[in-house]
Every structure is written in C-alpha cells, then in structure tokens.
Amino acid sequence: MTSTTNINEQVCVLALSRVQVHNPALLRQIMDVAGSAKDLFDNLPYINDFLPNASPALVSALKSPQIMERAKREMDFIVSNGIRLTCIGDSSYPARLFDCCDAPIALYSLGDIPFNAKRIVSIVGTRHATAYGKDMCRNFVSDLARLLPDTLIVSGLAYGIDICAHRAAVEAGLPTVGVLAHGLDMIYPQTHRATAKSMIEQGGGLLTEFMSETTPFPSNFVQRNRIVAGMADATVVIESASKGGSLITASMAQGYSRDCFAFPGRVNDQYSCGCNELVARNRAALITSAYDFVEAMNWGTGRVKKAHQTEMFPEFTPQEEVVMGLLKSASDGLQINQLVVQADMPVNVLMPLLFDMEMKGYVKAAAGGCYRAII
C-alpha cells in the first residue's frame, strides 16, 4: 500500500501523468524543470516563466482542474486496493527503467515486485505461439531458473509467448512481472487471471503506468512495450512474425542500449521470420538455449557450468568418446572436415552429434567451423 508521507507530491505526479502528450519523455522533462510535480502545480500562474516554450494546449491541460480531481480519485483507489505507487523520484523506482529518457513518471503495481533484482530478463513473442515456440520458451525459462535462480522474468501477460513465459517462470519458481496496457482494476485477457494471482503469490506481480478505468486500446500495448524493454537487462524474442509488438519491443531495447536475443526458426515458418530477420540484420544475437544466453551476458559459465553441475563424470556414447578423444588431443581444436576424416563419420551423422554435445556442455563451437573440447 502506498505511503501517505508524500501524498501531495504523489497526487501531483498522478495529475501530471494525466496530461496527454505525444512523447512521454516530455512529462519527465517538465518535472525536472519545475523541480517537482508539486512545485509545478504550486506555480501554475507563472508556468510560462519556467516553461517558455510550452504550447497553449499544454498550458491549458496543466491548468485544467479535472486532472487534479482525477488524480485524487485515483489515489483513493490506490489506497483502498493495496496498490503500490512508485513515482520517478522515489528511491525504489526501477533503476534500469529510470535510465530511459521516456520512463513513466508513475507506476502502479500489485505484488512485492523486486524492481531492482540482480538480473532481469524480458521475454516476448507472438500471440500465436506454435508448439515449437512454447517448447523453446519453457525450456529457456526452466534452464535459466537452474542456472540463475534469482532472475526476474518480465513479459506482457498477453496470449502466446507472454503467458507461456509467465507460467514457465511460476512453475520454475522464478518471480515474474506482467506489464499491462490498462489499469489495475481489471485483467486482460480475463483467462489469465489465475496466472496473475500465482505471479503475485510467488514474489512477482502486475505493473502498469495506466490509471484504473483505462481501456486497453491497441496504442497502449505499444506504449507499455517500452517498460518491458526498459526495466530489463536483456530482451529475448522467442517467436515473431515479420511484424508485431515483439519486434517493436526489441527495437526499443536496442534504443535503450540493452542486449537483444532471438531464437531462430525454419526460414519458411511464419512465426519465425521476424526472429530470423532480427538475427540477419544484426539487431539480435542468435541463441538456442539458456546456456547460450548466460554466456553471452557474462552471467556465468553457461555450458561449462551445466556440464560440471549435472555431470561431474559424464558417460559418453561410443561416438562421443571418439570425438572427445580427437578434440582433447588437438589443443587448437578441429574443423568439421578434419573431424569427418579422423572420426570416420559422415557429416550428416557428425553434425547432429556435435550439436548435441554442445548442448550437453562437452564441446564449444569456435570461428571457422572449429570445435574444441571444454571438459
């Protein structure tokens, strides 16, 4: 529940957030110039002195009594429903999001969300997730939970990959946050209400910049995507068509200088072409597992960690024994064509074997089609 120690400033922040602007960054700039939201409204008669370039429409909106009345009603709703209000000047405001120039000046949340968790990962994708995408999502979250159990998962509580990520996080014991495109007086879609309840109970919750009674218009979903991208260290796109909200989120993450990753798919799959294009245009790094991701983020030792944690003394198959013996004897590693000859294996047998060994953490692919043993 929100504190009443700074109630006047909070109400003024809520009032300012009601002002309609094309660029959300403008509201933060106005607060910075005025010193605080309360200072802004206390000095409205002199607004043109400290905002000389303010448009007549903006000045009129700031002076409208309706925005303050609405802010007071929203504060009553916040207090009566145990909602946490976090304003941009608060020490508890999400630090990563604060670094974004267009960060919301007010956030509403349900649940004890660790806004500043050590590691935060956003997972996004199509609403029309395929069986492949759902499997990739569940496996990624499950493996990430084993590797880094303190990770916070962020997504949008929408159909498809979003809800799959939330449910996988709940199942794996990770806290997860759903960023909404509407107020906290509703859950959209309603079919995800039970999952939302589980998210809150497990140390995550629901987060939004929108007041109650806000209809989830399509534009709101685009606007909320900047929170999904901005509050995380990295964004992972699991499935996407050539156009869609997940690509917008990936673009926003890039704009905030955050890492972006994508799972590849078959070139003719409708809901993989967006991911494939992100990789092809160097807008996202290709990953095939949580181990790839952890290594790329320098958050651990990835496949090596997996190998040592799960199998201190792995039992190799006969074919794996042959490949490992060759690679261990070659300090600089061996290329595919060398392994084909020395292992006496056809390439169509060797390639799947190497891929499987890489996933197990036995070998590592290097530049030029070269492989090295890592255990």
Burial-class residue 5 by CB neighbours within 10 Å (0-12, 13-18, 19+). exposed
Count how many Cα atoms sit within 13 Å of the Cα of residue 241 in the half-sphere of its side chain: 10
Question: If you compute the radius of gyration of the chain from its CA atoms, what whole number of angstroms results?
Answer: 25
Checking if the pLDDT of 90 tops 60, the result is: yes
Checking if the pLDDT of 300 tops 80, the result is: no
The angle at the Cα of 206, spanning 125 to 242, to the nearest 5 degrees, equals 15
Checking if the pLDDT of 302 tops 60, the result is: no
7 — pLDDT class (breaks 50, 70, 90):
low
pLDDT (mean) for 72-83: 97
Mean residue pLDDT of the chain comes to: 91
Give start and end residues of each alpha helix (H) in the chain. Answer: 7-17, 25-34, 37-42, 47-50, 56-63, 65-80, 95-98, 131-147, 161-172, 193-201, 218-230, 245-255, 273-280, 290-296, 302-310, 318-328, 336-343, 347-360
Chain mean position to CA 368: 32
Q: How far apart are CA 144 and CA 174, in angstroms?
A: 9
Q: How far apart are CA 179 and CA 154, in angstroms?
A: 7
**Lowest mean pLDDT, pick from 130-134, 255-259, 302-306:** 302-306
pLDDT (mean) for 292-314: 65
Checking if the pLDDT of 365 tops 80, the result is: no
Q: Provide the pLDDT for residue 125.
A: 97
Q: Provide the pLDDT for residue 330.
A: 86
> CB-based contacts of 107: which residues, under 8 Å, 6+ apart?
85, 86, 87, 93, 94, 207, 208, 209
The CATH code of domain 310-373 reads 1.10.10.10
pLDDT (mean) for 101-109: 97
CATH of 119-296, one of 3.40.50.2300, 1.10.10.10, 3.30.1540.10, 3.40.50.450: 3.40.50.450
Evaluate if pTM is beyond 0.85. no
Is the sign of the CA dihedral 73, 75, 76, 80 positive or negative? Answer: positive
375 — pLDDT class (breaks 50, 70, 90):
confident
Checking if the pLDDT of 312 tops 70, the result is: no
* pLDDT per position as a tens digit, 271-298: 999 999 999 999 999 999 999 999 999 9
Checking if the pLDDT of 48 tops 80, the result is: yes
pLDDT (mean) for 147-176: 97
Domain boundaries, the chain: 7-110, 119-296, 310-373
Checking if the pLDDT of 146 tops 60, the result is: yes
Checking if the pLDDT of 5 tops 60, the result is: no
Q: Which residue has the higher pLDDT, 28 or 369?
A: 28
Checking if the pLDDT of 310 tops 50, the result is: no
Percent of the chain past pLDDT 90, that is, above it, reads: 74
Helix axes 336-343, 318-328, angle to 10 degrees: 120
pLDDT (mean) for 252-262: 96
Checking if the pLDDT of 374 tops 90, the result is: no
Closest CA to 202 of 233, 166, 228, 234: 166
Q: Provide the pLDDT for residue 360.
A: 80
- Whole-angstrom CA distances from 298 to 141, 216, 293 are 17, 37, 9
1 — pLDDT class (breaks 50, 70, 90):
very low
